[in-house]
Structure 1
Amino acid sequence: MGDSLEALCGFNPRRPLVLDGGFGQLIADKYPHLDMSDGLWASGVAVRCPDVIRYVHLMYLRAGADIISTATYQASANGYISAGLANDKAGAKRLMESTLLLAVEARDQYMREHGCATRLGQPMISASLGSIGATLGNCSEYTGDYGCAVTPARMREFHEERLGMLADCLHGSVGLRDQIDLLAIETIPSAAEASAVADALEALHGRGTRLPPAWISFTSSTADRIGCGDTIEDAVKAIANCPRVCAIGINCVPLGVVGELLAGIRRATQKPIVCYPNGQPWSDANGGWHADDGLISAAHFACEAAEWVRCGASIVGGCCRTTAENTRALVERMLELRHE
């Protein structure tokens, strides 16, 4: 498997790939009766209600997504154990494995429904992994303010351990071998953590551990700096030369800052760009999403995405407060770009 996105999926710049939309937030919005109090969000739901996760994957596939992401964003050995879902690391690995398999099963069902291959042969699956902050349960993945106990060395140790657990799943399960196409290492708030991820990927590769190509995406609420205050250019430069990183991008960002962030990424690298912002601005004043105030229509979201492509995005999708409606609109808009 090649390390470049182009080699992996025959990327056509006139038809960018469409990533799926929100997951944990979508479940919270659509299934408010489900218990998500363990801090694992979709990763916990995958253990308790796997049919819901499988259905969400199918929903995005039926909307035309080229890539679906697994419900493993907040999964980690300590997270599963702390939530009482696993007794030890071996049990945690089994839970991650079963969650990854839900995406494979959904794709298999989708392919049976359609009876033929898509233009990519079949939709791709990215294994989603969040920052270390995503496992702390204090929203620090958006700021990088982890406290002095989480040093760069600790971040590298965390990512290396979790990526190693993922590799064990991919190579140890017959049902997962050659089924996961990409790694989506998401919502990274600092250049230091991005470097820790890249170092972890390199260390594992050096020991003979084979993982799919990874993209790393940063989170931000402003137009030029990511969560912790690093400039987007500095953050990208910190990982741009890592051969294990096939693409770099942004996710979980407000729609209004996307253009400038993408311009900053393009100034710092020529690697493919991934872009999947939120479908609604976060309200600090209200302490979260406020009903449907400011919710962006799927049609408007897709129109904005055409500009992301002009700014260099190779993969476009949605993050929080986006749904299969956004995916469907993105697919239609990306097809229209062929004729413009």
Structure 2
Amino acid sequence: MTPAARAAALREALATRVVVADGAMGTMLQAQDPSLDDFQQLEGCNEVLNVTRPDIVRSVHAAYFDAGVDCVETNTFGANHAALAEYEIPERVAELSEAGARIARETADEFAARDGRLRWVLGSMGPGTKLPTLGHVSYGVLRDAYQRNAEGLLTGGADALLVETTQDLLQTKAAVLGARRALRALGADVPLMVSVTVETTGKMLLGSEIGAALTALEPLGIDMIGLNCATGPAEMSEHLRHLARHARVQLSCMPNAGLPVLGKDGAHYPLTAPELADAQETFVREYGLSLVGGCCGTTPEHLRAVVERVRGLTPASRDPRPEPGAASLYQSVPFRQDISYLAIGERTNANGSKKFREAMLEARWDDCVEMAREQIREGAHMLDLCVDYVGRDGVADMRELAGRFATASTLPIVLDSTEVPVIQAGLEKLGGRAVINSVNYEDGDG
């Protein structure tokens, strides 16, 4: 079957039944006690095993396929710039991604040949260890590396791309847009999925609510959004309820086997296989999930129970009520307000506020941030940010201020400039969904 036919069959399956993915990968690899030589002296870099010990990686995929799952994720969770840079091998992103996808592809095809039932490969694109919103790495570096990650996965035979375990919305956007660039470059058309990680606090690591994630990510053209890692299914229920009510795209859920419990032998995950199966069946029936699986602590035994429980189920029908709006890193703000207008704070506009302009010209960045916070306290719904001023480097000013506003403001930002590079600089600093104002194409650019 051609790659295009496999991807089309996966889309059809997701639209008509419940597709089951695999569970934990890393713990099963480590259980086989690979040597330091297997890691090429890069201890803990599981992706290197795609090259040195494909037999170990293949055995994990086979264990999950033996349990009855429909698809497996590639052993490429750390095949990204941030993670591989820590091992000083960032140039191997594409190589290790392709090798991981090829192993999964070969294993899936072997099982399909046995019984004629199609199996799929989900290309895992993990979060890495750097948070661009906090300035650990630039957006452009991440996006370009994720493109290489995705190109390797697609070349190796992935049937879908899964941007997973995301903790920073700006990192997530870099991964999604890098993946979309890869799809265009290779002329491929496969599902693009995103799975965010919500902590026990009820928010993502940097404080993003699930509504902010949906508002920021759905317009990027993803095919699916869901949750994975950090918690067990019990803690995911309310976030899935929000997605079920408002998301236009399909939904997924891959929880841990409960919250880890510390014991004398270390941490273990307490959720049993039947308990995970109970939760996933409930989510399918109540929230209309199309893809279910497991994350940390889940085993082939867990997934076998899930397969048996959801086999034959059709995802519950949904009638989503989308809420068009913008988002900061932290929260979504609907365009439609209970009052009759949407209030946009203009005091952070260099052309409209002398106080803000003078603070910007003197590089008093904390004063600029405080002006933004004043408007938040006074009830603005969004903040206008304009740095355009004759003789200034607008791109540099926008990077400085948008980077600070990204974490200092709980409100969405309206990027206000007639210069496209200035707008782009702002977008590359904001993890939420911004509003763009004032750009023109008078010179014929479009």
**TM-score exceeds 0.5:** yes
Q: Deviation above 6 Å: which 4+ runs of structure 1?
A: 4-7
| 2:293 is equivalent to residue 297 of structure 1 | no
CA distance in 2, matches of 1:225, 1:165: 27
Q: 1:43 to 1:168 in 2, by over 3 A?
A: closer
The alpha carbon displacement at 1:67 in A equals 1.1
CA distance in 2, matches of 1:110, 1:95: 23
Alignment partner, residue 199 of structure 1: 177
CA contact (8 A) 2:132 2:171 kept: no
1:99-153 deviations in Å (ceiling 9; x for gaps): 22111121122234x2x322xxx111011010132xx5xxxxxxx5874233xxx
Moved more, 257-266 or 320-329: 257-266
CA contact (8 A) 2:256 2:297 kept: yes
CA distance in 2, matches of 1:229, 1:236: 14
CA contact (8 A) 1:237 1:268 kept: no
Aligned counterparts, 1:74-89, within 5 A = 74-76=78-80, 79-80=83-84, 83=87, 89=91
Alignment partner, residue 141 of structure 1: none
What letter matches 1:103 in structure 2?
Answer: A
Alignment partner, residue 26 of structure 2: 24
Q: 1:211 to 1:159 in 2, by over 3 A?
A: farther
Alignment partner, residue 200 of structure 2: 222
CA contact (8 A) 1:132 1:158 kept: no
Compare relative contact order (CA 8 Å, sep 6+) and give the higher one, 1 or 2. Answer: 1
Q: Secondary structure at the match of 1:273?
A: strand
Q: Secondary structure at the match of 1:183?
A: strand
Alignment partner, residue 159 of structure 1: 143
1:66-91 deviations in Å (ceiling 9; x for gaps): 1111001101367557536x6x83x5
Counterpart pick for 2:67 among 59, 63, 66:
63
CA contact (8 A) 2:151 2:182 kept: no
CA distance in 1, matches of 2:273, 2:54: 27
Q: 1:207 to 1:108 in 2, by over 3 A?
A: closer
Q: 1:169 to 1:318 in 2, by over 3 A?
A: closer
Give structure 2 stretches of 5+ with no counterpart.
Answer: 317-446
| 2:241 is equivalent to residue 237 of structure 1 | no
Q: 1:81 to 1:193 in 2, by over 3 A?
A: closer
What letter matches 1:299 in structure 2?
Answer: P
Counterpart pick for 1:11 among 11, 14, 20:
14
Q: 1:168 to 1:218 in 2, by over 3 A?
A: closer
CA contact (8 A) 1:247 1:274 kept: yes
Alignment partner, residue 225 of structure 2: 248
Give structure 1 stretches of 5+ with no counterpart.
Answer: 137-143
Alignment partner, residue 256 of structure 2: 278
Alignment partner, residue 95 of structure 1: 96
Counterpart pick for 2:42 among 7, 30, 38:
38
CA contact (8 A) 1:54 1:102 kept: yes
Give me the TM-score of the superposition, normalised by structure 2: 0.61
Moved more, 325-334 or 262-271: 262-271
| 2:307 is equivalent to residue 331 of structure 1 | yes
Give me the TM-score of the superposition, normalised by structure 1: 0.78
Alignment partner, residue 125 of structure 1: 121
Q: Secondary structure at the match of 1:240?
A: helix
CA distance in 1, matches of 2:251, 2:187: 25
Percent identical pairs in the alignment equals 23
CA contact (8 A) 1:183 1:212 kept: yes
The alpha carbon displacement at 1:156 in A equals 4.4
Please say which structure displays the higher CA radius of gyration: 2
Counterpart pick for 2:241 among 251, 257, 263:
263
CA contact (8 A) 2:167 2:196 kept: yes
The alpha carbon displacement at 1:278 in A equals 0.4
Q: 1:204 to 1:49 in 2, by over 3 A?
A: closer
Alignment partner, residue 106 of structure 2: 105
Query: Please, what is the CA RMSD of the aligned residues?
Result: 3.2
What letter matches 1:170 in structure 2?
Answer: L
1:300-322 deviations in Å (ceiling 9; x for gaps): 11011111112221100000110
| 2:136 is equivalent to residue 149 of structure 1 | yes
CA distance in 2, matches of 1:81, 1:259: 36
What letter matches 1:272 in structure 2?
Answer: Q
